[in-house]
Amino acid sequence: MRECLDELMERPELAADLGDRGYNRVMNNYTNKALAEQLLEFYKELFA
């Protein structure tokens, strides 16, 4: 794990990219709107 943290410290562009990708993943999958859409799809499939 230390090697990974060292690499992130040496490569701030990689750290920024990973941070951006993590943020986008959360915003696309775990906001109230995204969760509601996923639940709606689940119910549509369940009752289809």
- In order, the DSSP letters of 7-39 are HHHH-HHHHHHHHHHHHHHHHHHSSHHHHHHHH
The pLDDT, as a whole number, for residue 10 is 97
Domain around 7: 2-46
The pLDDT, as a whole number, for residue 31 is 95
The pLDDT, as a whole number, for residue 20 is 98
The pLDDT, as a whole number, for residue 30 is 94
The pLDDT, as a whole number, for residue 18 is 98
pLDDT block averages, 10 residues each, the chain of length 48: 96 98 95 95 96
The tally of domains found in the chain comes to 1
Q: What are phi and psi of 23, to 5 degrees?
A: -60, -45
